[in-house]
Copies of this chain bind each other. A is one copy, B any other.
């Protein structure tokens, strides 16, 4: 059994970690911290967990956390980087679900997150935890930067095309749409039901923090700089991300369906849909899977990819557990092998 702690267990990624971990066959959930809820029963905040855990929220404390094999951070950006160095010293491994270790370049990190990075040396050795491209590095990582939700959906969608040099990559377009849980559980007017339901809108068109993260992933694959326009939108639903990707093909006679199926045939959590099938976010609700379809409308020179994930699962907590399974040499699907809830 792996003994596990969670720092920041009250947000949506925190409770999703809890939902998945309480039935994980190899995990002993030892502690969940929350400054605001310390002393309260976790299951009182999240009644869905009644009967599954008797854990109480506690104050975050490095000493106590050091008794764990693994600590997940489900905290706001900028928190993990302050505690991680000390935990590493104690031999604890870490998966950060926030953005602290996602960008390799500390200067770029500072530019997008508005504060200096607190531990550039750790940043340098952190592994970007997208198993479909970094599985081997994850295995031995001390710190895994769990990818952002949009970067997961967009990255997996573009991957086969870029790996194979099939597209013009200076004017890529990623039009992405997310459910409201991506905004977190903080009280803010824009995420109220009366503001966000029965409406649809783009946001952060001028520049979203996931843009440099996606670019880093795509450049990592291509080996050179790529040009990307990324526009996120808010969908009136709780969970789910859909990304529609557009690129101009260098040649129009490649069997794209076969390419995608081949690339992902051994991936337990990427599902290439049969030709002509439209991915729906509900088909992945609560499940750690990315479903992808690839299209070449009217046989022309534009390729369209649609990629869906549950932003809280394959886009956050589920992928974190997938990374944990890899790091601790468990079955990669342990605790994650459940169908989506549909309808």
Contacts and interface: CB of A to CB of B under 8 A. Distances in A.
Interface of A: 12, 15, 19, 22-23, 44, 46-52, 171, 173, 175, 177, 179-181, 185-189, 191-203, 205-207, 227, 229, 231, 233, 235-240, 242, 244, 246, 248, 271, 273-274, 276-287, 289, 291, 293, 295, 297-298, 300, 302, 304, 306, 308, 337-343
B297 A229 contact: yes
Given A205-B278, A278-B202, A339-B22, A194 B191 contact: yes
Nearest to A302: B229
A237 B197 contact: yes
Contacts of A279: 201-202
Given A47-B291, A199-B281, 11 more contacts: A19-B341, A47-B273, A48-B283, A198-B285, A200-B240, A201-B242, A201-B308, A205-B278, A236-B237, A238-B343, A285-B341
A341 B341 contact: yes
Contacts of A195: 185, 193, 343
Contacts of A298: 206-207
Contact of A48 (B175, B194, B242, B340): B340
Contacts of A233: 177, 242, 244
Contacts of A173: 173, 175, 246, 302
Given A48-B340, A237-B236, A200 B180 contact: no
A238 B197 contact: yes
A194 B175 contact: no
A186 to B, nearest CB: 8
Contact of A200 (B277, B280, B295): B280
Nearest 4 A/B pairs, CB to CB: A199-B282, A48-B340, A175-B175, A187-B187
